[in-house]
Amino acid sequence: MSDCLFCRIVAREIPADVVHETDRTLAFRDVNPQAPTHVLVVPKEHHATAGLLVGADPQLLADVVASAHAVAVQEGLATEDGPEPGYRLVANTGPAAGQTVHHLHLHVLGGRPLTWPPG
C-alpha cells in the first residue's frame, strides 16, 4: 500500500533505523521512543491488525512475535530461554487504543521499569 507509512519503510522509501530483518518481518526503532529500547516489529506484507492477520496467515503472526523476541534478546532484555530482565510487547489496536498507523506493529519496550496498568 503506497499510502501506508510502514509499507513505505518496508520498501525503503522512508528511512528507518533497522535493527532486525527476516524474509517476512522488519524491526526498526520508533522515531519517538518511550523507553531506552523502543522498537517496532512489522510484517513486510500489509495487514491492519493482529486479529486480521491471524485469520489470513497465522504463521506470519508467529514470525512477527518471534522477531520481537529476537529483538529483545539482541537488546539485552531477555535471553534465548528466559525473560530476564524483561520487556513489554504492545499492539495498539483500533482508535480506543490509540493505533495511529494501520499496519500491524508490535512495540518492543524495555530498558526501564514498566508500570502496569499502562495509561
**Residues at the interface with Zn ion (CB under 5 A):** 1, 4, 6-7, 46, 103
- Our CB check for ligand 5GP shows the closer of 51 and 79 to be 51
Taking CB under 6 A as the criterion, the residue among 4, 18, 22, 30 binding ligand 5GP is: 30
Out of 3, 82, 100, 115, name the contact with ligand 5GP by CB under 6 A: 100
Active-site entry in 38, 47, 69, 105: 105
Give the three-class secondary structure for 90. Answer: strand
Minimum CB separation of residue 25 from Zn ion in Å reads 13
Q: Which range touches ligand 5GP (CB under 6 A), out of 24-32, 54-62, 63-71, 111-119?
A: 24-32
Cα-based distances in Å from 39 to 28, 89, 105, 113:
5, 10, 9, 16
Cis peptide before 117 (omega within 30 of 0): yes
Dihedral, CA of residue 30, residue 47, residue 4 and residue 34, to nearest 10? -20
To the query of whether residue 38 is one of the catalytic residues in this protein, the response is no
CA distances from 6 to 1, 70, 101 (A): 9, 20, 8
Determine if 50 is a binding residue for ligand 5GP (CB under 6 A): no
Q: Which one of 27-35, 49-57, 61-69, 80-88 is the stretch in contact with ligand 5GP (CB under 6 A)?
A: 27-35
Query: Which uninterrupted H or E stretch holds 65?
Result: helix 58-74
